[in-house]
A and B are shown apart, each in its own frame.
Chain A
Amino acid sequence: MMHLKETELCLGLPGGGGCEAETLKVTGKRGFSETVDLMLNLQANDQSSSSTDLMNDKKLQNSSKNNKDVIKPPAKAQVVGWPPVRNHRKNLMAQKSHNEETEKVVAPTSTGGSGAAAFVKVSMDGAPYLRKVDLKVYESYQQLSDALAKMFSSFTMGDYGSQGMIDFMNESKLMDLLNSSEYVPSYEDKDGDWMLVGDVPWQMFVDSCKRLRIMKGSDAIGLAPRAMEKCKSRC
Chain B
Amino acid sequence: MSEDDGGCGGAGKSRNSGEYFTPYPDQVLENVLENVLVFLKSRRDRNAVSLVCKSWYRAEAYTRSDLFIGNCYAVAPRRVTDRFKRVRSVSVKGKPRFADFSLLPPDWGAHFRPWVSAMATAYRALEKIYLKRMSITDDDLAVIAHSFPNFKELVLVCCEDFGTSGLAVVVSECRSLRVLELIEDDVSDDEVDWISCFPPEGTTNLESLSFDCVESPINFEALERLVARSPLLKKLRLNRHVSIGQLQRLIFRSPQLTHLGTGSFAPLEIAGQQQVDNREPDYGSAFAACRSIVCLSGFREISPEHLPAIFPVSANLTSLNLSYANIDADQLRPVIRHCHKLQALDSICDEGLQMVADSCKDLRELRIFPIDGSENIEGPVSEVGLLAISIGCRKLQSVLYFCQQMTNAAVIAMSKNCPDLVVFRLCIIDRYRPDHVTGEPMDEGFGAIVKNCKKLTRLAVSGLLTDRAFSYIGQYGKLVRTLSVAFNGESDIGLKYILEGCTNLQKLEIRDSPFGDSALWSGLHHFYNMRFVWMSSCRVTRQGCTNVARQLPRLVVEVFRGDGVEGGERGDFMDTLYMYRSLDGPRTDAPQFVKIL
Contacts and interface: CB of A to CB of B under 8 A. Distances in A.
Interface in A132-182: 132, 150
A129 B139 CA distance: 10
A80 B102 contact: yes
Contact of B468 (A9, A14, A79): A14
Nearest to A84: B101
A13 interface: yes
A38 B511 CA distance: 24
A88 B489 CA distance: 30
Contacts of B496: none
Given A93-B372, A112-B215, A83 B573 contact: no
A80 B107 contact: no
A82 B431 contact: yes
Interface in A15-66: 45, 47-48, 50-51, 54-55, 58, 61
B571 A10 contact: no
A235 interface: no
Main secondary structure on B side of the interface with A: loop
A194 to B, nearest CB: 20
A82 B215 contact: no
B432 A48 contact: no
B49 interface: no
B373 A131 contact: no
A67 interface: no
A203 interface: no
Contact of A132 (B189, B438, B513): B189
Contacts, number: 140
B272 to A, nearest CB: 13
A121 B372 CA distance: 33
Contacts of A93: 370-373
A10 B439 contact: yes
Contacts of A89: 323-324, 369
Contact of A83 (B103, B427, B537, B575): B427
A54 B432 contact: yes
A110 interface: yes
Contacts of B514: 50-51
B34 to A, nearest CB: 43
Interface in B296-352: 323-324, 326
A72 B165 CA distance: 46
Interface in B416-475: 427, 429, 431-432, 434-441, 443, 464, 466, 468
Nearest to B158: A86
Nearest to A112: B215
B500 interface: no
Contacts of B438: 6
B5 interface: no
B100 interface: yes
A48 B572 contact: yes
A83 B324 contact: no
A82 B326 CA distance: 21
A76 B429 CA distance: 11
B378 A2 contact: yes
B431 A76 contact: yes
B299 to A, nearest CB: 11
A1 interface: yes
B364 interface: no
Contacts of A129: 138, 163, 165, 190
A210 interface: no
Given A13-B490, A84-B427, A129-B190, A76 B372 contact: no
> Counting chain B CB atoms within 10 Å of each CB, which of A6, A82, A86, A96 scores highest?
A82
B190 A131 contact: yes
A7 interface: yes
A204 interface: no
Contacts of B326: 96
Given A84-B101, A111-B215, A48 B376 contact: no
A96 B372 contact: yes
Contact of B439 (A6, A48, A111): A6
Contacts of A61: 376
A47 B512 CA distance: 8
A114 B386 CA distance: 39
Contact of A14 (B138, B158, B189, B441): B441
B305 to A, nearest CB: 18
A58 B432 contact: yes
B384 to A, nearest CB: 15
A77 B372 contact: no
Contacts of B572: 48
Nearest to A72: B376
Contact of B100 (A9, A50, A86, A96): A86
Interface of A: 1-3, 5-10, 13-14, 45, 47-48, 50-51, 54-55, 58, 61, 72, 76-77, 79-90, 92-94, 96-97, 110-112, 121, 128-132, 150
Given A6-B438, A13-B466, A76-B376, 7 more contacts: A3-B436, A84-B486, A85-B402, A87-B100, A128-B138, A129-B163, A131-B163
6 contacts: A83-B370, A85-B101, A89-B324, A96-B371, A111-B215, A150-B106
Interface of B: 98, 100-103, 106-107, 138, 158, 163, 165, 184, 186, 188-191, 213, 215, 240, 323-324, 326, 369-376, 378, 402, 427, 429, 431-432, 434-441, 443, 464, 466, 468, 486-490, 511-514, 537, 539, 562, 570-573, 575
Q: What 5 A-B pairs have minimum CB-CB distances, sorted nearest first?
A: A81-B101, A6-B439, A10-B439, A10-B434, A48-B571
